[in-house]
Amino acid sequence: MNSQQKVIPGLLAIGLGFGCAGQQQQQDAKAPEPKVTQVKVGNISPVDLAVCFPKAPALPDKINKSVLTGLLVSSQPLVMECLVDPKHRGPADATEFTIESTLEGGKLTHKVTGTNLTPDGEKCIGAAVDRFVASAPDWSAKATATTTSVTAKSFPFQHNATSMPAVKMGTSEASDAAGTIRLAQSTFCDCYAAWKDSEPGELKASVKVTKNAAPVVTFDASTDATATQVAACLQPKVSALPLKTTSDEVTAPYTFFFANSMGTGMFTNAKPAMAFMQYDAVRTQTFGASLVADGSRLVAAEAYEALVQQYKKESKSVTIKQLQDGCDGLLKGHDGYIAALEKQLAVEEQAVAMLTDFAAKDASWAPVKEATAQQPGQTKKDLETAKATRAEDAATCAKLKI
């Protein structure tokens, strides 16, 4: 469920300037050439645009454990973005935690348990879940309509600062500049609106930082009109960041690149590593949506069962029409769950085909392909079970006549 996207290093040219040595020295000696040093620039990592545009699945009228679990799963992009900030992590590279959320009285509370999290990190994670859940249509009304206390626990979240998006300050001035840009990404969301529902592009920029002036940001030219529009929006925002240097001048490269787990699905134009990261992100969303859909099915099943029990207790209190409507609602719940599983399966099968192609061109992808190829099997079993259960309930519903 967690991506292993490596930080992509850049190369930085640092020019060390020299002050004037007086008119006579200028005449007698040629000024030395600036010293140029090449170093790697860290802190350049992708951003999931779900951080900007969260979109929770549609919910049933009431929330149950499966629905709440699905929401926790689908909140992953916002939750993991919290771990990018070094203030939210402890000194270790590895961080692991679970989230236990309780809905009671229409309000959510969270208990975050794990290792290598700071208090600020725990607060960020709870706020991330709240923000994601609030993006569900009619969340407040449906949370309030849930009169019983509901508690759900997430699957373990795992983060490693050496192989996943994370900022580490203090390595070099160039990396610190890149880290400042990376941490500011969530404030650039208006620039990314054009990519909200599509495959985002990649933008390469050069950022020149000097002691006494605002940063100068230059983007590589693009033939894509949308990418040009996004770059034009980003340029003044990045220039306004508090990027600092103790040298006369530091010029650092920065690449803006993105996943979009809540966009249109798998990427078709991305490089292999980014395409796989997108798959991992999209599959997490489809898995979360399947859990929510299963929860919706259970809500409908419980409502129908309550009608049946009331009918058995006092037949005149429940009409056949009410039973039929309840049965129709149950079948609709089944259909929603089946559709969610079919979408999840389609994504998994598409990924296997993609990785088969990658492995044919680069053998290092073979183990990834083999691991991914195991995923569709379980989803197919879940789908077969869901269809069989639906058929049984449909047969029962067919016996109801007005």
As a whole number of Å, the CA-based R_g of the chain is 27
| 119: enclosing H helix or E strand | helix 119-134
Residues in the chain, pLDDT under 50: 1-31, 34-38, 402
Q: Can you give the pLDDT at residue 15?
A: 32
Distant-in-sequence, close-in-space partners of 355: CB < 8 Å, separation ≥ 6: 276, 365, 368, 369, 372, 373
pLDDT value of position 35:
45
Burial of 221 (0-12, 13-18, 19+ CB in 10 A): exposed
| SS3 state of residue 150 | strand
**SS3 at position 111:** strand
The predicted-structure confidence for 38-96, as pLDDT tens digits, reads as follows 457 899 999 999 999 999 999 999 999 999 999 999 999 999 999 999 999 999 999 99
In contact, 344 and 380? CB cutoff 8 Å: no
pLDDT for 92-128, tens place per residue?
999 999 999 999 999 999 999 999 999 999 999 999 9
The C-alpha angle with vertex 241 and arms to 222 and 38, in degrees rounded to 5, equals: 70
125's CB contacts (< 8 A; 6+ apart) are 79, 82, 97, 99, 110, 112, 117
Helices (H), 223-271: 225-239
pLDDT at residue 316 in the model: 87
Give the pLDDT of residue 401: 60
Q: Which H or E element spans position 328?
A: helix 320-361
Whole-number pLDDT of residue 248: 87
pLDDT the model gives residue 19: 33
**156's tokens:** 């373990």
Instruction: Check if the beta carbon of residue 230 is closer than 8 Å to that of residue 301.
Output: no
Nearest Cα to Cα of residue 348 among 365, 369, 323? 369
Give the number of other Cβ atoms within 10 Å of residue 359's Cβ: 17
Q: Write out the two tokens for 325.
A: 């409507």
Cβ neighbours for 119, distance < 8 A, ≥ 6 positions apart? none
Helices marked H in 54-101 — which ranges? 65-74, 76-82
